Amino acid sequence: MAGVEIHPTAIVEKGAELGTDVRIGPFCHISSDAVIGDNSRLLSHVVIMGPTTLGENGLVYPNAVLGGDPQNNKHKGGRTTLVIGKNCIIREGVTMHRGSDTSRGTTTVGDDCEFLAYAHVAHDCALGNHVTFSNNVMIGGHVVIGDYVIIGGGGAVHQFVRVGHHAFVGGLAALVGDLIPYGSAIGVHAWLGGLNIIGMKRSGLPHKEIHAVRHAVPMLFDRTKPVKERAIDVRNAYPDSKAVIDIIDFIEADHKRAFCTPKLEHTISSDDTGY
């Protein structure tokens, strides 16, 4: 534990694994099953419970609670885990729960993610890399969040919902259906209002691909056929667009939830940004 600093008021239980140059601030409580990566910093009053791993260069602000028991009545008390990647920023009051022993058994968070104050990650969720949760975002159990997803303040995601990579969920939105990659969902309950064009540009997606997606998505949701039938037409129309095919693969995957779609009175056009 070279270079480790533990404040005298902190409790680090025997068995906890601390990497090099870890700093544990005042009144933190680290369980015996915890693993804290190199160069991580827990500012104060942080609680890390059970088999929880925090990757290297983690920064955790006061009153965050990581690794709590799953809020799942089917959980029988078995050993489950929370695994958080490297370079994650976890702000004040954030809560993340371990997986449940009747499901995937682990909650996973990717690298380079940021969780603003009082965000919540429920049991058995799987989050990708570069995910941003704004203040008070809450996601239910078994949710899958793709890379580079942004959820605005107060946004909520129903259990078992998938949010595709580079998607954007607006502030105070309640998302109850799967959101396609690059999609932008707004409203309560959230509906597909357009595309996250700004996020696509920030990620370096080529202009040609953005152009293809902007024309393919209105075709996908034009209501002349069920979405999964239209997906076949869109795949045939844009066979060389990796981004479009990625959305179609998302649509065609077997999953439990319906899709986040446009309102009946709203038709997506190629000019919609949804941001």
51 vs 73: CA distance, rounded Å: 20
Element housing 229 (H / E):
helix 227-237
Using an 8 Å Cβ cutoff, are 54 and 40 in contact?
A: yes
Hey, which residues are catalytic here? 123-124, 141
52 vs 63: CA distance, rounded Å: 16
Between the alpha carbon of residue 177 and those of residues 121, 159, 172, the distances in Å are 18, 10, 15
Evaluate the omega torsion of the peptide bond into residue 211 and state whether it is cis, within 30 degrees of 0.
Answer: no
Any residues with CB less than 8 A from the CB of 8 and at least 6 apart, and which? Answer: none
Evaluate the omega torsion of the peptide bond into residue 45 and state whether it is cis, within 30 degrees of 0.
Answer: no
Per the document, the length of the chain is 275
CB atoms within 10 A of CB 171: 14
Strand partners, 163: 145, 179
Using an 8 Å Cβ cutoff, are 231 and 220 in contact?
A: yes
